[in-house]
Amino acid sequence: MANVLLILALLLLFTGSIIIVVLGIIGTYLIIAGKFMRFSPPVPSSGKVKKKMLAHAVQYLEKHQNLTITDLGSGWGTLLLPLAQNFPNHRFIGYELAKLPYYTSKLRALKLQNIQVKRLDFFNADFSGIDVIFCFLLPSAMQQCYDKILPKLKKGTIIYANRFPLPNIEPNEIVSLDSDYETFYVYKI
């Protein structure tokens, strides 16, 4: 009996250590990425923030017709794919540069008529008809979005910024869940 308990305790210790090491590596990567990387890593919006941000957007999408919605750096299609599936009357465009998330989301989008995934630097995209924007980008990219994209947006465009806000402009809403890492910002231009 004592042996079984010892083995169980060792197993728990081993599993716990592995989980702590993996979380540590991911956390360190995100912190370093946030400070030094030029491009945001393809980390998807997740957990409560993803759920709450999508629910917020759904309310807006339900009240409007024929919107064009884009995700600047659409990653694996985490945000656009479920929305495109539920809103066949709206149009969705994802811009993604990283190969693996791009091809994966492109493949997943094949079954839907109302979504396009483009392998394009979103700074070169056409913003004239865009109604709703999602972004989950590093602070340096948010600064560039403010400088280069904001002047191209039409009045009334809604922006959802996950985790990192746009500089120099007050959000209309800040939705903060459990921590700074679980906050998104809503802007109406």
* Residue 165 binds to ligand SAM (criterion: CB under 6 A): no
Go through 30-42 and write b for each residue having 16 or more CB atoms within 10 A of its CB, e for each that does not.
eeeeeeeeeebeb
| 116, burial (CB in 10 Å: exposed 0-12, middle 13-18, buried 19+) | middle
Residues 111-130 binding ligand SAM (CB under 6 A) are 121-123
Residue 147, token pair as written in the block:
């400088």
* Residue 164 binds to ligand SAM (criterion: CB under 6 A): no
Cβ distance to ligand SAM smaller for residue 75 or 90: 75
Residue 161, classed as helix, strand or coil, is strand
Asked whether the beta carbons of 91 and 65 are under 8 A apart, the reply is: no
- 47 phi, psi to nearest 5 deg: 60, -145
Q: Which stretch binds ligand SAM (CB under 6 A): 21-29, 74-82, 84-92, 167-175?
A: 74-82
* Residue 43 binds to ligand SAM (criterion: CB under 6 A): yes
Q: Which of 87, 92, 95, 160 binds ligand SAM (CB under 6 A)?
A: 95
Cβ distance to ligand SAM smaller for residue 40 or 183: 40
Amino acid symbol at 49: V
DSSP element (H, E) containing 92: strand 91-95
Residues binding ligand SAM: what is the number (CB under 6 A)?
Answer: 25
Cβ distance to ligand SAM smaller for residue 12 or 119: 119
* Residue 146 binds to ligand SAM (criterion: CB under 6 A): no
Residue nearest ligand SAM, Cβ-based: 73
* Residue 73 binds to ligand SAM (criterion: CB under 6 A): yes
* Residue 45 binds to ligand SAM (criterion: CB under 6 A): yes
DSSP 109-150: HTT-SSEEEE-S-GGGS--TT--EEEE---HHHHHHIIIIIG
Cβ distance to ligand SAM smaller for residue 101 or 165: 101
- List interacting residues with ligand SAM (CB under 6 A): 39-40, 42-45, 71, 73-75, 78-79, 95-98, 101, 121-123, 134, 136-137, 141, 162
